[in-house]
Amino acid sequence: MSTLADRLETLAANLQTQIDAKFAERSTNTPRKAQQAANARLDGLHLERTQKALRALAERHRSGTVPDLLAKLTTKKAIEDLTRPETTRGSGYYDAPRETGKPANNSPAALLLWSMIEDNGSDERRAAADLQQKLDDVRFRRIPGYFATPTKTVDILINRVGLPEGETVKVLEPEAGSGNIADRIRTRFPKAELTLFEIAPALQEILKLKGYDLAGSDFLDAAPQAVCDFVVMNPPFERDADIIHVLQALKWLKPGGRLVSIMSAGVKFRQNKRAAAFRQMVADSGGWFEDLPDDSFKESGTSVSTGLVVFEK
């Protein structure tokens, strides 16, 4: 049996080049390319599971403990057929399949083989692939009021907030989106305690996959609690929504706290009553506006001019 075990091990090792190629970084700047990248990751997960099955069988053959039901599995193709996952897909033209974590083949041999390998659909690679696919999906889906905050803009925002290094502080992000701002805070300020809200179900899924616990869905429906040391936010802009969200967020700040929000540049010159009253409040409270660089959100699909507002309570 050692000869068969060695052959199965060799087959497993020879799969690594294909696996690496499937998980290689790919362009995802169009829906079609994002679909192709997702399909490649799906193929990679299947190949990786096949590799694990080959190695598990090799080990069982060496120890003489291979189940009778699997003893005649001697080719990569036979094992690939049993390790193929069940998939599901959305209704969109460019929606790529996703693994369900279950075998597509429900034969006793397939179920036994899946039970023998570590990856039964819950490994880190599958979770990462699922997260990436969801991130790619929302890039091309029109979610009202949502434009992901680009990395450079996130850094400008967080630097202006001035979170203290190594201190436990409470930070509110009322419209967490896909987590770009929260991710950066979690990396740079691991002691910060984040309170996140997000109203869009597709974005909620992404945040949960990233390990965040949401305090709620619609921030405007939440009862304000003046418990936060900092507020950092990128609210929607339509119909003065940025002003409405900032005014609500201010109610969450402790005395001495700081709020920094991205806003439409139009807040500084619009002549409606809400915008005029907001500018007066900013001036009266010692707050200020700052311009962001042109095209700060170009990579997120909008050329709207933006800026920051800064408050200290």
Q: What is the pTM of this model?
A: 0.77
Q: At what angle do helices 180-188 and 151-161 cross, to 10 degrees?
A: 60
Place of tokens 């660089």: 293
Ranges of H-type helices in the chain: 2-14, 16-22, 31-63, 76-83, 108-116, 124-139, 151-161, 180-188, 201-209, 241-250, 273-284
Phi-psi region of 301 (alpha: psi -120 to 50; beta: other; left: phi over 0): left
**Two structure tokens written together for 66:** 């291979």
**Residues of the chain below pLDDT 50:** 120-121
- Cβ atoms of 144 and 201 within 8 Å: the answer is no
- Cβ atoms of 38 and 137 within 8 Å: the answer is no
Residue 58's pLDDT is 94
Domain ranges (residues) in the chain: 2-139, 151-312
Residue 71's pLDDT is 93
Indicate the DSSP class of residue 91.
S
Place of tokens 């691991």: 190
Residue 121's pLDDT is 47
Distance CA 177, CA 198 (A): 6
Per residue in 275-308, is it b (16+ CB within 10 Å) or e — as a string?
beebbeebeeeebeeeebeeebbeebeeeebbbb
Residue 119's pLDDT is 55
151-312 in CATH: which number? Answer: 3.40.50.150
CA-closest candidate to residue 112, choices 81, 61, 55, 70: 70
Indicate the DSSP class of residue 220.
G
- Cβ atoms of 217 and 198 within 8 Å: the answer is yes
